[in-house]
């Protein structure tokens, strides 16, 4: 019944459009976590997204854009209510953003079942890459496992024999361990799961020192990562142990970790110094406007706006033929700031992944920089489970 | 080898305990003397760290930033007392909870507007950099030792103030029987202001000290606030001694639990199951402890008499 | 902890406010549908679910001075009962709803039996401790989604029908639950049982001397509150079609306390008012600015300073002035 109701609502919204479609603004619900400690991630995505819209003179695909920002507060039921507000009250054409997997879990069904396009600019849960995939969902980031796989692959290729794994005790942390182990065949000396939001890692660092691994692999997003990196350095562990990380050392945490993070490794599909014209223009415009160095999250937000722009342009602003819009989105016909970018059958990107490290730039700011390419045109393993072809 | 590891973890536990004590001391004083539940104590801790970020940016010197941040934290605490808190002393506890919750919302968001959402920090002062080598390849940071010492020094100072000075005597009397103190002609308002300002400064001090090792971010005080409440409740409300003992217990239990709980479970469980159960139990260990203490001693370990 | 709350059930506002609220709430879906705002129905459904939870908290907090800082755990347990049942393909509400309430009630019985040994702020903190234990337990249930939560792929059925599938039906069901809980609790607090609970709050020793066992009465109230909160949780799971440990976080327990105090404790309708005001202010202000908390925070302070006894008393005063 609800499906019928929302479908009818959407149809009614479309019906009003028709001929007058170009005059109505394109409505985009930009949903992300904007409160609490992880707010910075949502901020970066939104800044990236808004930058591209602004560069287009407030238009995407030739249509005026109205952006409605929603804060999910990192609470799934709040996210659900707000996304339903976006869909039904604001009648948005696209929902974009979504920082965390648990929020994506909560909003995925209502958005895709109402046949609204969902552009995920960060979270890439395995369910929605595999069995639960939907034609209405497109990611401009990655499938969660892939970033961790990069590190496992690198550790394996470099011939490291022993690894110590350290992640928060929640689903994404466990996924990250699984992702790392997929390619790493050496010995895992210990797996330690810390409380989410853990502040002090001294206990864990002492364990690392005692276990004497060749590498430590960690996934500690946000403030946890800041604390870990600073304390890792302060304990002097960086002299003997190679620090591999995912979502821990990036431009959201570097302003706080600064020199403590320089030289530490991370993995990414993008860095500010990635050498392509689209990226150069993006990074310089971004830094000029916001006064800080963009992160991979910013780039994902920027590409999400580019993706919408390309599709709306391809259908000449008329979103009533959903199949045509999906086909246009699937082409990903835009110059991604990460270079190579095309869509897999499950609407997740096939792209390159790099080993990156933190550097201090000539202007005194801190950024990540490419060390070497680890995967070339890499798709995720869940695509095979997705029934879309 | 394992002995060294345990020793390191004990040091870590002490350091966490000392930090908790700094926050909890102010909280328990304000609660004990003024019968005032100040949920905003956590954001005062946060504010101390943020102020230090700014003053470090201006002066480039940790110690200058520390002094300036303490003064600013004191001033801000007094301002809060003047604008909001003093109107709440004779109110129901839950009114105090609601109003100070409002202060939390305001300051957490205000900090985000002023300083931005991204985590910030400032470095360890040159003087306290470096490590004391313990295990091969792993040193114990001197700064953390300094933190432990400064916390112990604060505890001694507090002990002296509370047991050896006139204000301290009034504070003790106030915690036991506030009406009597006021009946004796003591300006209870002034006393409250002093206690409150001092508490705000202690929280700010804890914030400044944690800046170099923890990330400075909006909402950083919320978790600390809850832990501080656990500490003062286990210790017995109004008791500085109780807060000190409880803070060290909590610090040690939490740290040692996180370090060894999973390994203990691995001794008699499959590793996969231990990895699931261990961290969950370790996370709730301090709450189990609190429930246990309150079960056997419903008013904490060192209850202030007469309450 | 002296709570300046009187039993207002007998006074005028004790009847007028709930009656007006009921009429307004009952009329809402029709108005919303006419204005093409069926989203409002959805939003108010969520608000009313929280109102049920707040009501249950008001029973123990407002009347019994038992400030539970772990109340969200009961809501979460109710929600998880539904979620876990659904993961095992059990959708029948006639089984799962009583199960949800029983599970929450059982948790309340065990934790209440221990917590009620303490008073005042110690009670607040020990209930927090149990709430946190429930939270961390749910977070570690990795077969049920762990920290990410558990998506329900359908909603609860009742004897083959799917009443939650239709938004308006769902709304009226929740309204009926809210009204039912309200009437039940109103009757309860007016009964001998309720008078004993209030009597224990005022003077424990006297109640003991008269021959009542305060502990048992308080425990019974605690379990009833837990079961009603469990019902709210079961409804919440169906509303979000998703269960998550975050339903049990201490912040949520805090939100519930704030709702009750904001609306005015010890009045029952105050809890409903508080839930509506809290969630609607949040919704309204967050539309206005991303930094809505800098407005909301001072607003709460002003309410404490100038509206003693919460929003309910404001209405009462407004009523008597006019």
**Whether residue A305 sits in one domain with residue A215:** no
- Which chain A residues are Cβ-neighbours of C293 within 8 angstroms? 35
Number of domains in chain A: 2
- Determine the pLDDT at residue B137: 63
Average pLDDT, chain B: 88
- Section A107-124 average pLDDT: 93
Residue A20 reports pLDDT greater than 70: no
- Determine the pLDDT at residue C76: 97
- Which chain B residues are Cβ-neighbours of C120 within 8 angstroms? 93
Q: Which residue has the tokens 């406010």?
A: C17
Q: How far apart are CA C71 and CA C229, in angstroms?
A: 8
- Section A323-334 average pLDDT: 95
* A201 is a domain residue: yes
- The answer, for B292 touching chain C at a CB cutoff of 8 Å, is no
Residue C118, helix vs strand vs coil: coil
Residue C128 reports pLDDT greater than 80: yes
- Section B21-30 average pLDDT: 91
Q: How far apart are CA A357 and CA A264, in angstroms?
A: 5
Least confident of A198-207, A245-254, A313-322: A198-207
Residue B110's closest chain A neighbor by CA? A35
* Residue B168 pLDDT grade (very low, low, confident, very high; cuts 50, 70, 90): confident
The better pLDDT of the pair C294, B173 is held by C294
Residue C295's closest chain B neighbor by CA? B106
Percentage of chain C beyond pLDDT 70 is 93
- Determine the pLDDT at residue A19: 40
Percentage of chain A beyond pLDDT 70 is 94
Half-sphere exposure of B281 (CA within 13 A, CB side): 15
* A320 is a domain residue: yes
| Contact between chains at A252 and B16 (C-beta distance less than 8 A) | no
Residue C59 reports pLDDT greater than 70: yes
- Determine the pLDDT at residue A143: 92
Residue C143's closest chain B neighbor by CA? B276
- Determine the pLDDT at residue C319: 53
Q: Helices A223-234 and A202-211 meet at what angle, rounded to 10?
A: 50
| Contact between chains at C148 and A69 (C-beta distance less than 8 A) | no
The winner for highest mean pLDDT among A273-287, B214-228, C195-209 is A273-287
Give per-residue pLDDT as tens, C3-41: 444 444 444 557 888 888 899 999 888 888 888 777 888
Q: pTM of the prediction?
A: 0.85
Residue A21 reports pLDDT greater than 60: no
A68 burial type by CB count under 10 A (0-12 exposed, 13-18 middle, 19+ buried): middle
Is the ipTM beyond the 0.90 threshold? Answer: no
Structure tokens at C40: 């409002």
Residue B307 reports pLDDT greater than 70: no
**Whether residue A164 sits in one domain with residue A120:** no
- Which chain A residues are Cβ-neighbours of B262 within 8 angstroms? 192-193
- Determine the pLDDT at residue B214: 86
- Determine the pLDDT at residue C202: 87
- The answer, for A45 touching chain B at a CB cutoff of 8 Å, is no
- Section C230-235 average pLDDT: 97
Neighbours of chain B (3+ CB pairs under 8 A): A, C
User: SS3 letters for A253-282?
Assistant: CHHHHHHHCCCCEEEECCCCCCCCHHHHHH
**Where do the structural domains in chain B lie, given as residue ranges?**
9-216
Least confident of A127-131, A209-213, C139-143: C139-143
User: SS3 letters for C295-320?
Assistant: HHHHHHHHHHHHCCCHHHHHHHHHHH
- The answer, for C236 touching chain A at a CB cutoff of 8 Å, is yes
- From the list B137, B215, B219, the residue facing A239 with the nearest CB is B137
- Determine the pLDDT at residue A1: 39
- Determine the pLDDT at residue A14: 41
- Determine the pLDDT at residue A363: 92
- The answer, for C235 touching chain A at a CB cutoff of 8 Å, is no
Boundaries of domain holding A297: 2-142+275-343
| Contact between chains at B102 and C299 (C-beta distance less than 8 A) | yes
* Residue (of C313, C9, C1) closest to C190 by Cα position: C9
Residue B117 reports pLDDT greater than 50: yes
The better pLDDT of the pair A324, C290 is held by A324
CB C51 within 8 A of CB C178: yes
- Mutation choice for A interface testing from C44, C80, C147, C291 by most A CBs within 10 A: C147
Half-sphere exposure of A245 (CA within 13 A, CB side): 29
- Section A356-360 average pLDDT: 95
* Residue A13 pLDDT grade (very low, low, confident, very high; cuts 50, 70, 90): very low
Neighbours of chain A (3+ CB pairs under 8 A): B, C
- Determine the pLDDT at residue A81: 85
- Section C281-307 average pLDDT: 86
**Whether residue A243 sits in one domain with residue A158:** yes
**Whether residue A98 sits in one domain with residue A53:** yes
Least confident of A91-95, B6-10, C177-181: B6-10
**Whether residue A373 sits in one domain with residue A240:** yes
- Determine the pLDDT at residue A3: 42
Q: How far apart are CA A182 and CA A154, in angstroms?
A: 12
* Residue C228 pLDDT grade (very low, low, confident, very high; cuts 50, 70, 90): very high
Residue A148 CB coordination number (10 Å)? 30
* Residue A5 pLDDT grade (very low, low, confident, very high; cuts 50, 70, 90): very low
CB C236 within 8 A of CB C49: yes
Residue B111 reports pLDDT greater than 70: yes
- Alpha helices (runs of H) in chain A, residue ranges in sequence order: 2-17, 39-55, 76-84, 101-113, 126-129, 144-157, 171-183, 202-211, 223-234, 254-257, 277-290, 296-314, 322-331
Residue A122 reports pLDDT greater than 50: yes
Give per-residue pLDDT as tens, A95-114: 999 998 888 988 998 999 99
Residue A125 reports pLDDT greater than 90: no
- Determine the pLDDT at residue B177: 74
Residue C121 reports pLDDT greater than 90: no
Average pLDDT, chain A: 89
Residue B28 CB coordination number (10 Å)? 33
- Determine the pLDDT at residue A11: 41
Residue B106 reports pLDDT greater than 90: yes
**Whether residue A360 sits in one domain with residue A334:** no
* Residue A78 pLDDT grade (very low, low, confident, very high; cuts 50, 70, 90): confident
Residue A18 reports pLDDT greater than 80: no
* A325 is a domain residue: yes
- Determine the pLDDT at residue A12: 41
Residue C302 reports pLDDT greater than 80: yes
- Which chain B residues are Cβ-neighbours of A236 within 8 angstroms? 131, 137-139
- Determine the pLDDT at residue B135: 66
User: Residue A316 region, left (φ>0) first, then alpha (ψ -120 to 50), else beta?
Assistant: left
The winner for highest mean pLDDT among A125-129, A281-285, B89-93, B175-179 is A281-285
| Contact between chains at B287 and C119 (C-beta distance less than 8 A) | no
* Residue C2 pLDDT grade (very low, low, confident, very high; cuts 50, 70, 90): very low
- Determine the pLDDT at residue C12: 53
CB C78 within 8 A of CB C231: yes
CB A41 within 8 A of CB A299: no
Instruction: Mark which residues 113-172 of B lie under 8 Å from C by CB.
Output: 113
* A98 is a domain residue: yes
- Which chain C residues are Cβ-neighbours of A169 within 8 angstroms? 139-140, 147
Give per-residue pLDDT as tens, A295-311: 999 999 999 999 999 99
- Determine the pLDDT at residue A239: 87
Least confident of B96-100, B153-157, C56-60, C313-317: C313-317
- Determine the pLDDT at residue B6: 84
- CATH number at A365 reads 3.40.50.2300
- Section B81-90 average pLDDT: 89
**Whether residue A38 sits in one domain with residue A154:** no
- The answer, for B102 touching chain C at a CB cutoff of 8 Å, is yes
Q: How far apart are CA A58 and CA A56, in angstroms?
A: 6
């Amino acid at each position: 019944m609800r499906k019928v109701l929302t479908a009818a609502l959407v149809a009614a919204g479309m019906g009003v459009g028709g001929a007058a479609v170009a005059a109505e603004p394109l409505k985009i619900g930009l949903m992300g976590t904007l409160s609490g400690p992880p707010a910075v991630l949502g901020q970066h995505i939104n800044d990236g997204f808004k930058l591209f819209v602004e560069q287009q003179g407030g238009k995407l695909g030739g249509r005026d854009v109205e952006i409605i920002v929603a804060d999910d507060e990192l609470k799934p039921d709040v996210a659900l209510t707000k996304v339903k507000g976006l869909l039904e009250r604001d009648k948005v054409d696209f929902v974009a953003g979504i920082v965390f997997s648990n929020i994506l879990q909560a909003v995925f069904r209502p958005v895709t079942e109402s046949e609204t396009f969902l552009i995920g600019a960060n979270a890439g849960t395995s369910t929605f890459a595999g069995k639960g995939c939907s034609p209405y969902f497109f990611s401009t980031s990655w499938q969660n496992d892939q970033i961790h796989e990069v590190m496992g692959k690198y550790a394996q290729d470099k011939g490291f024999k022993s690894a110590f794994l350290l992640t928060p005790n929640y689903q994404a942390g466990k996924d990250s361990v699984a992702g790392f182990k997929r390619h790493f065949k050496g010995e895992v000396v210990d797996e330690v799961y810390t409380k989410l939001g853990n502040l002090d890692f001294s206990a864990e660092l002492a364990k690392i020192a005692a276990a004497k691994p060749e590498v430590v692999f960690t996934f500690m997003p946000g403030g946890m990562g800041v604390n870990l990196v600073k304390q890792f350095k302060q304990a002097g562990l960086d002299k003997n142990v190679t620090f591999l990380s995912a979502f821990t050392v990036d431009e959201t945490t570097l302003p706080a970790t600064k020199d403590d993070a320089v030289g530490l490794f991370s993995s990414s599909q993008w860095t500010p110094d990635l050498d392509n014209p689209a990226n150069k223009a993006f990074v310089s415009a971004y830094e000029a406007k916001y006064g800080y160095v963009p992160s991979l999250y910013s780039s994902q937000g920027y590409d999400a706006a580019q993706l919408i722009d390309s599709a709306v342009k391809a259908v000449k602003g008329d979103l009533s033929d959903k199949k045509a819009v999906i086909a246009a989105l699937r082409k990903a016909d835009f110059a991604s700031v990460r270079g190579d970018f095309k869509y897999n059958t499950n609407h997740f990107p096939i792209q390159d992944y790099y080993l990156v490290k933190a550097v201090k730039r000539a202007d005194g700011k801190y950024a990540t920089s490419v060390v070497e390419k680890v995967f070339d045109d890499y798709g995720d393993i869940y695509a095979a489970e997705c029934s879309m072809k | 080898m394992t002995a060294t590891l345990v020793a390191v973890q004990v040091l870590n536990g002490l350091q966490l305990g000392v930090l908790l004590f700094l926050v909890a001391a102010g909280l328990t004083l304000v609660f004990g003397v003024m019968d005032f539940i100040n949920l905003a104590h956590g954001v005062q801790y946060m504010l101390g760290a943020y102020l230090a970020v700014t003053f470090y940016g201006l002066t480039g010197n940790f110690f200058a930033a520390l002094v300036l941040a303490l003064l600013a934290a004191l001033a801000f605490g007094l301002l809060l007392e003047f604008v909001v808190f003093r109107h709440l002393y004779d109110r129901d506890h839950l009114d105090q909870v609601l109003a100070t919750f409002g202060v939390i919302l305001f300051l957490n968001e205000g900090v985000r507007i002023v300083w931005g959402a991204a985590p910030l920090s400032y470095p360890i002062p040159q003087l306290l950099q470096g490590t004391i080598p313990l295990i091969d390849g792993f040193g114990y940071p001197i700064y953390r030792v300094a933190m432990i010492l400064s916390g112990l020094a604060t505890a001694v100072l507090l002990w002296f103030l509370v047991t050896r000075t006139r204000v301290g005597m009034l504070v003790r009397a106030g915690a036991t029987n506030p009406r009597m103190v006021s009946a004796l002609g003591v300006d209870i308002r002034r006393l409250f202001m002093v206690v409150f300002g001092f508490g705000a400064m202690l929280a700010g001090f804890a914030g400044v000290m944690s800046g170099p090792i923890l990330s400075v971010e909006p909402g950083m005080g919320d978790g600390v606030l809850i832990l501080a409440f656990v500490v003062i409740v286990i210790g017995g409300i109004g008791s500085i001694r109780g807060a000190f003992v409880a803070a060290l217990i909590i610090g040690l239990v939490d740290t040692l639990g996180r370090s060894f709980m999973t390994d203990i479970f691995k001794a008699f469980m499959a590793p996969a199951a231990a990895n699931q159960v261990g961290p969950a139990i370790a996370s709730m260990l301090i709450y189990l402890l609190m429930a246990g203490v309150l079960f056997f001693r419903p008013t904490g370990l060192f209850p202030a008499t007469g309450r | 902890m002296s709570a300046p709350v009187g039993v207002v059930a007998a006074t005028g506002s004790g009847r007028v406010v709930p009656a007006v609220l009921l009429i307004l709430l009952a009329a809402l879906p029709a108005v919303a549908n006419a204005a093409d705002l069926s989203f409002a129905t959805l939003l108010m459904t969520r608000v009313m679910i929280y109102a049920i939870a707040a009501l249950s908290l008001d029973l123990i907090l407002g009347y019994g001075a038992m400030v539970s800082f772990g109340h969200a755990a009961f809501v979460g347990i109710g929600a998880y009962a539904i979620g876990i049942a659904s993961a095992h393909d059990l959708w029948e509400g006639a089984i799962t709803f009583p199960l949800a309430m029983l599970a929450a009630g059982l948790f309340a019985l065990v934790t209440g039996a221990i917590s009620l040994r303490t008073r005042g702020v110690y009670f607040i903190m020990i209930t927090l401790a149990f709430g946190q234990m429930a939270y961390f337990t749910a977070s570690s249930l990795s077969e049920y989604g762990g920290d990410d939560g558990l998506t329900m792929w359908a909603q609860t059925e009742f004897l083959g029908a799917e009443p939650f599938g239709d938004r308006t039906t769902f709304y009226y069901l929740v309204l009926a639950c809210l009204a039912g809980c309200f009437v039940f609790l109103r009757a309860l607090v007016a009964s001998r049982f309720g008078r004993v609970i209030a009597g224990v709050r005022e003077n424990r020793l006297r109640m003991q001397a008269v021959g009542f066992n305060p502990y048992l009465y308080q425990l019974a109230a605690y379990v009833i509150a837990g079961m009603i909160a469990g019902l709210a949780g079961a409804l919440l799971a169906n509303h979000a079609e998703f269960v998550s440990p975050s339903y049990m976080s201490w912040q949520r327990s805090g939100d519930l306390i704030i709702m009750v105090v904001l609306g005015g404790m010890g009045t029952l309708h105050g809890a409903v008012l508080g839930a509506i005001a809290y969630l609607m202010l949040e919704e309204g202000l967050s539309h206005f600015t991303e930094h809505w908390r800098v407005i909301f925070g001072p607003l709460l302070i002003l309410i404490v300073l100038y509206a003693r006894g919460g929003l309910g008393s404001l209405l009462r005063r407004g009523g008597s002035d006019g």
